[in-house]
């Protein structure tokens, strides 16, 4: 019963109006819920330094209010677009590498022509069918798949 409460709290804490949430949220919410389930041993709705162990060195950056615990909302804020943990996300690191290598005109977009043989791996990120993807599109696509 308590595990459901923790997950319910995580879900409620991350709930926001639909128009304010990008579609990458579903994958990010699942990732956060999994972390809460794994590390929040006392089920108080936050991950403490003691609960995180070695992971605390990374999670501490998400502790926005510096109270010694990381809530689902703090994790969300730290991982979503430009937050404290966003650049350390291994998927974001792959996306950055992809754009550094293939975005020849440095416009922040990859086209089919620029991506070449890699396009089939990212074409699913082109949700509007315009033949271009940005970093956020690719990140959303890859987090849905993992």
The answer for 110, left when phi > 0, alpha when psi is -120 to 50, beta otherwise, is beta
Q: 112 and 63, same structural domain?
A: no
Domain that holds residue 19: 2-85
CATH code: domain of residue 105? 1.10.238.10
pLDDT digits (tens, 9 = 90+) for 89-142: 677 778 888 888 999 998 989 999 999 999 999 999 998 899 999 888 888 888
Q: pLDDT band at 23, cuts 50/70/90?
A: very low
CATH code: domain of residue 41? 1.10.238
User: Which of residues 58, 85, 112 is at a domain's end?
Assistant: 85
19: DSSP letter: G
Query: For the chain, how many structural domains are there in total?
Result: 2
Q: 62 and 17, same structural domain?
A: yes
């Amino acid at each position: 019963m308590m595990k459901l409460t923790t997950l319910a709290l995580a879900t409620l804490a991350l709930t926001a109006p639909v128009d304010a949430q990008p579609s990458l949220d579903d994958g990010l919410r699942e990732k956060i819920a999994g972390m809460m389930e794994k590390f929040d041993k006392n089920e108080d709705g936050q991950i403490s330094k003691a609960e995180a162990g070695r992971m605390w060195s990374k999670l501490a950056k998400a502790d926005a209010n510096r109270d010694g615990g990381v809530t689902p909302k703090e994790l969300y804020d730290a991982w979503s677009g430009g937050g404290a943990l966003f650049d350390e996300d291994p998927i974001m690191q792959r996306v950055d590498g992809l754009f550094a290598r293939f975005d020849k005109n440095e416009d922040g977009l990859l086209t089919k022509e620029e991506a070449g043989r890699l396009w089939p791996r990212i074409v699913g990120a082109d949700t509007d069918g315009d033949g271009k993807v940005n970093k956020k599109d690719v990140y959303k696509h890859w987090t849905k798949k993992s």
